[in-house]
């Protein structure tokens, strides 16, 4: 049993100090100062879906770990995405992450979908805690719009809230379909983030130059260009489909 203090708050109850502590942990672990309070508020406070749940762990008064369940609904169903998992280096390998996830799981609504896109380090921990692997995707050549015909389209509201403003993202038109893509710097390769409509595509800079298009394929036979998969996991459901453009690390 550790002596750390675990403080969880819904976004409707955040204080300025709690936000500062969360941001401090992120910048010590992953972001080197680029994680701002403005970004936090956009993600968790100004969230159009509703309230998110955030936890900060303290060693006395020092914030040492943080984790969030980011409200990000799936096709009209209440859903939370596991996000911003950080434990500062001096406190890693002490079981903090496992305990944090357990606390948050007990707090969110039982009917809610809980999902995530874990990295290589956190994936085994989630699996040990009983999460389900929903899909594995790898980069593949994109040839036809039929490859995305089962994927939900990026809506205008979602794009304006979360996606617009990323300097590497463009819109591109192919065979009368519109896509939001991420351009690889200094290379004529665009990774498809998701399909959208013509009006939403106008929210992004148009990319009209020649480009090889790739996308995330769930079919391993098609995926030849990326050895490490993007995994989608879920805590309570096995039969859901999560669009890859829902990932918070856009």
Handedness of CA 195, 226, 232, 89 (dihedral sign): negative
Closest CA to 232 of 223, 220, 241: 241
DSSP conformation letters of 3-49: --EEEEEEGGG--HHHHHHHHHHHIIIIITT---HHHHIIIIIS-TT
Q: Where are the domains of the chain?
A: 5-116, 138-227
pTM here? Answer: 0.91
Q: Distance (Å, rounded) from C-alpha 191 to C-alpha 50?
A: 30
pLDDT at residue 221, as a whole number: 57
Rounding to the nearest 10 degrees, give the CA dihedral for residues 200, 48, 46, 79. Answer: -110
Block means of pLDDT (10 residues each) for the chain, 250 residues, are 91 97 96 94 96 97 97 96 95 92 93 94 91 90 90 95 91 95 91 96 94 83 64 91 89
Closest CA to 246 of 98, 92, 71, 129: 71
pLDDT at residue 225, as a whole number: 56
Q: Would you state the CATH architecture of domain 5-116? A: 3-Layer(aba) Sandwich (3.40)
pLDDT at residue 21, as a whole number: 98
Q: What is the CA radius of gyration of the chain?
A: 19
DSSP class of residue 152?
P
């Amino acid at each position: 049993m550790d002596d750390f203090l675990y403080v969880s708050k819904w976004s409707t109850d955040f204080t300025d100090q709690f936000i500062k502590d969360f941001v401090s942990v992120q910048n010590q672990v992953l972001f080197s100062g680029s994680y701002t309070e403005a970004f936090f508020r956009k993600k968790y406070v100004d969230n159009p879906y509703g309230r998110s749940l955030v936890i900060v762990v303290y060693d006395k008064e020092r914030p040492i770990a943080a984790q969030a369940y980011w409200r990000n609904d799936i096709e009209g169903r209440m859903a939370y995405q596991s996000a911003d998992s950080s434990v500062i280096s001096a406190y890693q390998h002490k079981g903090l992450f496992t305990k944090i996830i357990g606390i948050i799981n007990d707090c969110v609504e039982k009917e809610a979908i809980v999902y995530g896109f874990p990295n290589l380090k956190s994936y085994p921990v989630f699996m040990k805690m009983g999460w389900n692997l929903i899909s594995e995707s790898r980069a593949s050549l994109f040839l036809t719009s039929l490859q995305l015909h089962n994927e939900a389209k990026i809506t205008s509201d979602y794009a304006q809230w979360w996606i617009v403003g990323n300097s590497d993202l463009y819109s591109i038109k192919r065979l009368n379909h519109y896509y939001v893509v991420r351009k690889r710097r200094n290379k004529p390769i665009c990774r498809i983030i998701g399909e959208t409509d013509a009006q939403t595509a106008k929210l992004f800079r148009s990319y009209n130059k020649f480009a090889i298009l790739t996308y995330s394929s769930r079919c391993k036979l098609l995926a030849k260009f990326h050895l490490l998969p993007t995994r989608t996991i879920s805590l309570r459901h096995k039969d859901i489909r999560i669009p890859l453009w829902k990932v918070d690390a856009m």
